[in-house]
Amino acid sequence: MTAELRIGTSGYSFSHWIGTAYPEGTRPSDMLKTYAKDFDAVEINFTYYRDPTPGMFEGMLRKVHADFEFVVKAPKGMTHEREKMAAVAPSFVGSLKPLIDAGQLGGVILQFPQAFHLNDSALDHLEKVADVFVPNDIKTSIEFRHNSWNQDRVYELLEKLRLGFVNVDLPQISALPAPTNIMTNDVAYYRLHGRNKAMWYNPPTGSHRYDYLYNDEELEEWAQRIEGSLEAAKKVYVFTNNCHKGSSFVNGLRLKQRFEQHVRTEAEVEQTLFAGTDPTSRIVELTKWVAAARANEKDLVEAHLRKLQEERQEQTQDWN
């Protein structure tokens, strides 16, 4: 039996998507409705920073079709400020009720920081996570940002706890996890963050950390992994998180096309007889807009990198 495959992006509400992923003039209140015309799933990330309410999700449900699914990021009090776990967990779980009742909660993702290393305390925390979500029948996936977690005993523990494992694409930095294709429950989960090694630790803005546009060859590496999970999993989620300037949007569409899912054409978007009817043409045009928007920041990025290089040289001189 082939798994249900849902492809989307990590977040949808970005002002810098207007003019690339979204048409000029798109209002923030219309972004989710516009997004849902192209994708059937999205990761919600604002919940990491501030407490959601049931009313927020009720409003979001009104903007999407009934087959649309949300995967919601757990608050930082469960991943980065873990001493707050007991305080934040009940209200967070309660806020998800509208999504659960509508049958549109795909699950919850916990993204742990690079400083979260494999040790007994961290393993105990994962058990507490399972105690929060598993009894509530909420599919829960864990993303690690340190390479110490990529070992069999971790996968075995997650399987025992009924927690999922998130396979990530990240810059080639020794402390970060390498690409994997692991599944520890009936959900296969993939997140593509980009490979912007130069900006990963010291970006000019948070968005620039994810300033990366995958080419078809790089996407195919992951498409083959994803393809391999379709027979084993019940559901497969693929989210592109290289969000800067809409790169994740066009890469998400390209992956949909790769798996023969429907991609809207320019004619469907513009609703005019004079627009193109080939989905590839739309993806190519969107990619050009994204590339142009990124190129317009070339001076900013190069100046930032020069500044970082100068600071490193000054530090080296001080040490000597």
Residues whose CB falls within 8 Å of the CB of residue 60, separated by 6 or more in sequence, listed in order: 32, 44, 70
Rounded to the nearest 5°, which phi and psi values hold at 189?
A: -130, 130
In total, how many domains does the chain have?
1
Q: What was the pLDDT predicted at 272?
A: 67
C-alpha to C-alpha distance for 254 and 236, rounded to whole angstroms:
17
State the residue range of the domain holding 147. Answer: 4-319
Q: What was the pLDDT predicted at 311?
A: 59
- The pLDDT tens digits for 69-104 are 999 999 999 999 999 999 999 999 999 999 999 999
pLDDT range class, residue 313, cuts 50, 70, 90 = low
For strands 140-143 and 4-10, give the pairing. unpaired
Burial of 75 (0-12, 13-18, 19+ CB in 10 A): buried
pLDDT range class, residue 307, cuts 50, 70, 90 = confident
Tokens encoding 131: 């105690």
- The pLDDT tens digits for 239-292 are 999 999 999 999 999 999 999 999 999 989 886 666 788 999 999 999 999 999
C-alpha to C-alpha distance for 9 and 249, rounded to whole angstroms:
6
pLDDT range class, residue 22, cuts 50, 70, 90 = very high
Q: What was the pLDDT predicted at 317?
A: 45
Q: What is the 3-state secondary structure (H, E, C) of 119-170?
A: CHHHHHHHHHHHHHHHHHCCCEEEECCCHHHCCHHHHHHHHHHCCEEEEEEC
Could you tell me which residue, 268 or 162, shows the higher pLDDT? 162
C-alpha to C-alpha distance for 154 and 159, rounded to whole angstroms:
9
How many CA within 13 A on the CB side of residue 15? 0
**192 SS3 class:** strand
For residues 121-145, give the mean pLDDT.
98
Query: Does the structure show a pLDDT above 90 at 303?
Result: no
CATH of the domain at 275: 3.20.20.410
Q: What is the DSSP letter of 47?
A: G
Q: What was the pLDDT predicted at 220?
A: 98
For residues 146-162, give the mean pLDDT.
97
For residues 50-58, give the mean pLDDT.
96
User: DSSP of 233-247, one letter per residue?
Assistant: -SEEEEEE---GGGH
Mean pLDDT value across the chain: 93
C-alpha to C-alpha distance for 107 and 71, rounded to whole angstroms:
5
Residues whose CB falls within 8 Å of the CB of residue 123, separated by 6 or more in sequence, listed in order: 157
Q: What was the pLDDT predicted at 297?
A: 86
C-alpha to C-alpha distance for 204 and 56, rounded to whole angstroms:
31
Kindly state the percentage of the chain with pLDDT values over 90.
84
Lowest mean pLDDT among 180-184, 205-209, 249-253: 205-209
